[in-house]
Amino acid sequence: MNDILVSVIVPIYNVEDYLPKCIDSIICQTYKNIEIILVDDGSPDSCGQICENYKKKDSRIKVIHKENGGLSDARNAGICRAKGSYYVFIDSDDYIHERMIETLVEGVVSTGADIAVCSFKNVKEDEIIDIHSGINTGSYKLISEDIDRLSYFYGDKYTEFTVAWNKIYPASFFKEIKYPKGKIHEDEFTTYKLLELAKKIAYIDVPLYYYVSRSSSIMGEEFSLKRLHRLDAISERMDHYLFLGKYDWYEKNLFLYRIFYVRYYKAVQKPKMDIDILKEYFKTYKKSVLKNILKTNISIKKKLGYIYLALFPDMYIKKK
């Protein structure tokens, strides 16, 4: 198992207060055969120098300095430089348990899976987590059949199976797939494609990734129109599953589209933003529902719920 080189790719921007903790948690991994690719995405603070300082301490560290292009562009730059057979992505304001990479590698090796996934824990900025604590990994759940995938991908584990950073992927999966430059919610555009390539997925329900909730992060900011990128991604998935004739999968994404459309509609009312752009997203929803909802296997009541929003949006939203 230890002969597998894993590339750990860390996109970095304006996180000087969090970066050392992140890098330290990678350096101390019990799985040692890793290369650590730190991508300084034109960070205006001292992140670039912090990366260079760590590079002097550990020969496994490579540093890329580039103009700011966003999270997706930074990940893609790391992928271009990576030499490993597998990739792991870690956001630079987060950190990981010392056994995360070992556990993920063991997941793909012991089960024959293409991708391994662990769960994660939301932590506060000042919360103290012992990343060296003992863990009971237990057994891996092997996910291969469509019915299991649908349950995991769009059930209680939706976030775990959508984000980029709690997984290990074969490098070969990224020959054609890249993260979309300029988008937030970039995982929503990408992870489903990677999971679809996997014949088998190993899942372990142990939180080995620590996601730091901070107000100054992209996802912690007040509502901006960039959040609508999520609807773009969901719409892309809806079209994808319709093309494949997978109407159950289409409906799960339509459900998400409805939830986030209503949420964003309400969000733009408060700062009184220009909501004309939302009209186009509503047209997408309405057209899709009226054309496709009867093809799904859901109950009549649920179908009527989708149609209600499509035909009477103001009345529907007022009730929510």
| H, E, C per residue of 60-127 | CEEEEEECCCCHHHHHHHHHHHCCCCEEEECCCCCEECCCHHHHHHHHHHHHCCCEEEEEEEEEECCC
Contacts of 303 (CB under 8 A, 6+ apart): 293, 294, 296
pLDDT, residue 152, reads: 93
Selection from 101, 88, 100 nearest residue 37 by Cα = 88
pLDDT (tens digit, 0 to 9) for every residue of the chain, 320 residues total?
789 999 999 999 999 999 999 999 999 999 999 999 999 999 999 999 999 999 999 999 999 999 999 999 999 999 999 999 999 999 999 999 999 999 999 999 999 999 999 999 999 998 989 999 988 877 899 999 988 999 999 999 999 999 999 999 999 999 999 999 999 999 999 999 999 999 999 999 999 999 998 765 555 456 778 899 999 999 999 999 999 999 999 999 999 999 999 999 988 876 666 677 889 999 999 999 999 999 999 999 999 999 999 999 999 998 87
Site of tokens 């509502």: 223
Its pTM surpasses 0.85: yes
Instruction: List alpha helices for the chain, DSSP H.
Output: 19-27, 47-57, 71-81, 100-111, 146-153, 186-197, 229-244, 247-269, 276-292, 300-311, 313-319
pLDDT, residue 319, reads: 84
pLDDT, residue 178, reads: 96
Q: How many CA atoms lie within 13 A of 275 on its CB side?
A: 14
- Looking at the DSSP assignment, which residues form a beta bridge with residue 87? 7, 169
Four-residue CA torsion sign, 270, 272, 274, 276: positive
